[in-house]
A and B are shown apart, each in its own frame.
Chain A
Amino acid sequence: MKPQEKSLESTMTDHFPRPEGTPLTLDWFETHAVNLSAAQRRAATLPTRRSVKKDWQAAWLLRAITCIDLTTLAGDDTEGRVQRLCAKAKAPVRADILEALGIERLTVGAVCVYPTMVGHAVKALEGSGIPVASVATGFPAGLTPLPLRLGEIRYAVEQGAKEIDIVITREHVLRGNWSALYDEMRQMREACGDAHMKAILATGDLKTLSNVYKASMVAMQAGSDFIKTSTGKEDVNATLPVSLTMVRALRDYKDRTGQMVGFKPAGGLKTAKDAMNWLILMKEELGTRFMMPDLFRIGASSMLGDIERQLEHHITGRYSAANRHALA
């Protein structure tokens, strides 16, 4: 490795202190309004203002793969299903394609499963360095009693999950009960211990962008490591205007506290084009550092297949087919 590359590598993965949150500070968000039409305009023009082509596109798509939380959250998940997913997580792109692109090793960002599947995933991923993320806290509705939700977090951590995707109580947002929301999430963060807490806002239920901004701010003040858009089970999942609102909250929070919190859009991101659009969003609104997997994740399952086809097309010049790539 050339010295220049090394220094580049180190700046892009420099460690930063884990965000610790702040006391609940209402005046950072209570009167904050987000203008819907302006957010929609910005979101609509982000992908048209930027275009990434050729090798750059291939590199960006590979980067997107490293940010994917490869996910299965279905009622019929089994150990076998989880093992297959983990195998794909370790080898997300066919070896010959990787070689042609000049890349030695590539994995996804994490594998995301239900708490009872964490053990299977940890076992399957042993030695790969890929963390296991677990949803918890009565996913997806989050309306089980708090002690049970906290117990669920502790269970998942005991099983070996390094990241916990918690869901917030939407009622607290819809009724503006910020202290209740904050207190609950503080307890969840405590239950996570060393595991990173990713707070799912379920933005499709919050409806307004102003609600999204406020919930983002409370989640960060309560010490979230990531804020995440959706469970994938709401009527509307990750959209660009919602994501824009969340990353702007994240930027405001960073400006006020110096703490770096990550962002995870989830649900509805299915194509390579989606991956590019969200990467553009991160680069434009937060900067290049926020395109790395310690600060950016994409919750997706089918997106990977589309990216694989695009990468093969990049190499061969021929459009690819799904059956040429391994199933997740």
Chain B
Amino acid sequence: MPSIKDIMQTMEYGPAPESNAEVKAWLSTRSAGIGHFIDGKFTSADGDLIDVVNPATEDVISRVAKGSAADVDAAVAAARAAFPKWSALPGHERAKYLYAIARHIQKRERFFSVLETMDNGKTIRETRDIDIPLVARHFYHHAGWAELVADEFPQHKPVGVCGQIIPWNFPLLMLAWKVAPALAAGNTVVLKPADLTPMTAHAFAELLVEIGLPAGVVNIVQGDGETGAAIAGHPGVDKVAFTGSTDVGRIIRRQIAGSGKKLSLELGGKSPFIVLEDADLDAAVEGVVDAIWFNQGEVCCAGSRLLVQEGVAPRFFEKLKARMATLRVGDPLDKTMDMGAVVSMKQLSRIKALLKAGEQEGATLNLAPVALPEKGAFCTPGFFTNSHPANSVSQVEIFGPVATTLTFRTLDEAVALANDTRYGLAASVWSENVNRAIELAARVKAGVVWINATNMFDAAAPFGGYRESGYGREGGRTGMLEYLTTGWDKQGKVRATSAAPIDVAPATGKADHAAIDVTAKLYIGGKQARPDGGQSYTVFGKGGAAIGEAGLANRKDVRNAVEAANKANAWGGVTAHNRAQVLYFLAENLEQRRDEFVAALAATGAVAKPEDEFEAAIRRCFWYAAQADKFDGSVTATKSQHVTMTVNEPYGTIGVVAPDEAPLLALLSLILPAVTMGNRVVAVASQAHPLIAARLYQVFETSDIPAGVVNLLTGERDVLAKTLAEHDDVAALWYCGSEDGSRMVEVASAGNLKPVWSDLGRLRDWRDTRFGQGQEYLRRASQVKTIWLPYGE
């Protein structure tokens, strides 16, 4: 050991270990292994146990049971049994439990910090200063929602039993993000921690016993992916919430397609970290430390693609290299470490393989000059230079402490590079010019944008992704809605299967002949278009008589319509007032053709009161026109000297598939909210009554709706719906059709993980304003972007 005199010269830090004696003692009394927590009781650890390894030491610290289908059954049954009483409790009673959890997390904060560090490998500084305080904060915040839920969400009720599957990178924090809103809303829970990091969830279950949470309200089933699949697929589960990889997200999406389960996914990312030439470069360098070297880079929202403006790039990279020289990597229980171990040796080799591939592609790997401990899953932090968008390391989520870099010349180029990814979880923007910073924040496709900051979280600030980073939000009011339901969209009677087969051959026995023949086309990019396949199908009206022909759209027509819709992206940028005007004008023009539409509705033979349906359609236009400049985001109270904004942004192109009932009103009810929020729409009109669409596009044409904003297709519903569901450039899909079709589109949507709103083939009373319109539609037509803007000079 060096003498004090020596240290006065070297000025080294020396060791500063956090004691883990109490946690070791706790582990030793559970040496038989960790079982499940079902119906308020701990099961013994039976069967094949999975080793739980401290990745920093490679010691086996425990063994954990692998939940079987029977275990999952028992847990779901317990949650189901606990649900009626728990959900019926006054909000205040649930708030008291959540408050107790928050308090007890605080009372046990050191225990949880040390245990988390030993299980996961992350530093004690992070578990102590970030993870565990955020856990407590999350339960406090949601104790508040439990208290307020009846007042704040009077139309909603809890979903039921929630199956929740969480990852290993923030084990207890992700548990809190899942459990707190679920309980606050009145749901019960079956949660599966990651098999790599099961320990804090087990300790949390012990804490639940300590505070006396009623049995069955929270059940924890340990296990691996198979256990997770059993939970997600269990018929007794009403809602699935998953945080993890995009690949597993896809599997779950397909697995539960057509089940009617509510689903939220928080998946991967390859988030841009954009440094403009007017940024405080030292601040941005420190931002990189918090972005990619935080939690060993095992962060779904890590700023892993550094985009630096060319003029400052050399200086920035020099500063970054200099900064790496003071990074400390080692024993995560040492209080003087910046980085601990990655979660497992397997994960380490995965990271290393990706880094090697990057070097083989010609990128230069700049590594921190650190000496790693000889044992343990430690990874040297660094960043790539000479990396390009075409390199795999620039596209694939490394999930380790290494960022790629790109340079850009202009703001436009920064936006293009930032958005050149399948993901859309987060972004970080560094600039001292508020004009440029907010422009970037507006244009980048990401659910969370941090300006001059990164990796900031708060229970009140919604978190979640765009695109293949998933859907649904966690935190705040928006997060609560993931655990509440109005339920009406899936409670109608089952819709009769479409009676009208597609017939493209000449039909005989036409009822009445128009003076001049009418040609119903498709409407694509603001133009009436003949169907690509050159076919039309016969439309039958009242009494089964043929009343005309409608264009039969095919895959290529869908492709063309989506392309036209995506080109019309200026619509999302016009003012809300502007969109409102267009919708009012649409109503005005529709009204002028009242008699014609009423007659056409009558001719379908499917509308009992054509006058009423038409009147409702006019009102619907007015209602959404009114909403256009009122369905707003908000400013959320997070940290002092921060404006944290939530903005409702359009998805882009939404596909809507209309049912056969209410051929005018249903079609408009689906198109209007999407357009109101700034989306473009590719709409598939009622298969059986498509002639209304042909009249409607004439009204669209005269109503100042820009070309491509609304595109109308007619044809075989499920063929078109499938093409839309599979299309990677369609951002969301609403489907009203059959139960089988619902399953089909949900499976097909897994490709780009577009959110799907399907009705399981249930009839909807479109004239009833509770069901045919409302905030639910507007919410589903928009995605929340949370922008963090710190201020002060």
Contact = CB atoms under 8 A, between A and B. Distances in A.
Interface in B1-31: 1-16
Contacts of B15: 53
Interface of B: 1-16, 125, 129, 278-280, 282-284, 286-287, 290, 326, 335-336, 338, 432, 452-453, 641-642, 790-793
Contacts of B9: 5, 8-9, 12
Instruction: Output the residue of B4, B12, B286 with the most chain A CB within 10 A.
Output: B4
Given A35-B452, A210-B793, A248-B282, A55 B4 contact: yes
Closest 7 CB pairs of A and B: A56-B14, A38-B283, A59-B7, A37-B790, A51-B335, A51-B16, A33-B432
Contact of A60 (B2, B11, B791): B11
B7 A35 contact: no
Nearest to A2: B6
A5 B432 contact: no
Contacts of B10: 8, 288
B7 A56 contact: yes
Contacts of B793: 36, 207-210
B6 A8 contact: yes
A102 B5 CA distance: 7
Contact of A37 (B5, B8, B452): B452
A37 B11 contact: no
Interface residues of A, number: 44
Interface stretch (A41-49, A76-84, A188-196, A230-238): A41-49
Contact of B4 (A52, A102, A209): A102
Contacts of A324: none
Contacts of A66: 8
Contacts of A54: 14
Contacts of B278: 31, 33
Interface string A14-41: 0000000000000000010111111101
Given A38-B286, A41-B286, A103-B4, A55 B280 contact: no
B336 A35 contact: no
A216 B432 CA distance: 20
A34 B326 contact: no
A59 B14 CA distance: 11
Interface string A47-73: 011111111111110110010000000
Given A62-B8, A101-B4, A279-B11, 19 more contacts: A5-B5, A8-B9, A8-B10, A33-B280, A34-B280, A36-B790, A37-B641, A37-B790, A42-B283, A50-B13, A53-B15, A55-B3, A56-B7, A56-B14, A57-B14, A59-B4, A60-B7, A60-B11, A102-B4
Given A37-B790, A39-B283, A62 B4 contact: yes
B439 to A, nearest CB: 18
B86 to A, nearest CB: 39
A155 to B, nearest CB: 36
A311 to B, nearest CB: 10
23 contacts: A31-B278, A33-B280, A34-B280, A35-B280, A36-B790, A36-B792, A36-B793, A37-B641, A37-B791, A38-B283, A38-B453, A41-B286, A41-B453, A49-B125, A50-B335, A56-B7, A59-B4, A59-B5, A60-B11, A63-B11, A102-B3, A208-B793, A283-B11
Nearest to A9: B9
Contact of A34 (B16, B283, B641): B283
A255 B282 CA distance: 14
Contacts, number: 108
Contact of B16 (A53, A101, A283): A53
Instruction: Output the residue of A5, A49, A58, A60 with the most chain B CB within 10 A.
Output: A49
A181 interface: no
A158 interface: no
Interface in A207-260: 207-210, 248
A103 B280 CA distance: 43
Interface of A: 5, 8-9, 12, 31, 33-39, 41-42, 45, 48-60, 62-63, 66, 101-103, 207-210, 248, 279, 283-284, 288, 291
A248 B283 CA distance: 10
Contacts of A34: 280, 283
Contacts of A208: 793
Contacts of B792: 36-37
Nearest to A33: B432
A42 B286 contact: yes
Contacts of A42: 283, 286
Contacts of B335: 50-51
A40 B284 CA distance: 13
A245 to B, nearest CB: 9
Instruction: Output the residue of A33, A35, A63, A283 with the most chain B CB within 10 A.
Output: A35
A5 B6 contact: yes
Instruction: Output the residue of A9, A37, A53, A279 with the most chain B CB within 10 A.
Output: A37
Instruction: Output the residue of A8, A53, A102, A279 with the most chain B CB within 10 A.
Output: A53
Contact of A288 (B5, B11, B14, B129): B11
B113 to A, nearest CB: 13
A37 B4 contact: no
A288 B12 CA distance: 8
A18 to B, nearest CB: 23
B125 A52 contact: no
A78 B235 CA distance: 87
A100 to B, nearest CB: 10
A50 B7 contact: no
Contacts of A102: 3-5
Nearest to B793: A208
Contacts of A31: 278
B14 A35 contact: no
A107 B1 CA distance: 25
Contacts of B6: 5, 8, 59
Contacts of A55: 1-4, 7, 14
A149 to B, nearest CB: 30
A245 B223 CA distance: 50
Given A37-B790, A49-B336, A56 B280 contact: no
Contacts of A45: 129
A240 to B, nearest CB: 13
B88 to A, nearest CB: 44
A210 B16 CA distance: 35
B448 to A, nearest CB: 17
Contacts of B14: 52-57
Contacts of B282: 248
A260 to B, nearest CB: 16
Contacts of A50: 13, 335-336
Nearest to B277: A31
A38 B791 CA distance: 10
A53 B15 CA distance: 7
Contact of A48 (B1, B7, B125, B790): B125
A282 to B, nearest CB: 9
Contact of B336 (A51, A62, A63, A279): A51
A259 to B, nearest CB: 18
A60 B7 CA distance: 8
Contacts of B11: 59-60, 63, 279, 283, 288, 291
A85 B676 CA distance: 76
A135 B676 CA distance: 68
Contacts of A5: 5-6, 9
Contacts of A49: 125, 336, 338
B333 to A, nearest CB: 11
A4 to B, nearest CB: 9
A312 B113 CA distance: 32
Contacts of B642: 37
A45 B284 CA distance: 15
B478 to A, nearest CB: 25
A112 B279 CA distance: 39
B453 A63 contact: no
Contacts of B8: 59, 62-63, 66, 103
Given A59-B7, A62-B4, A35 B432 contact: yes
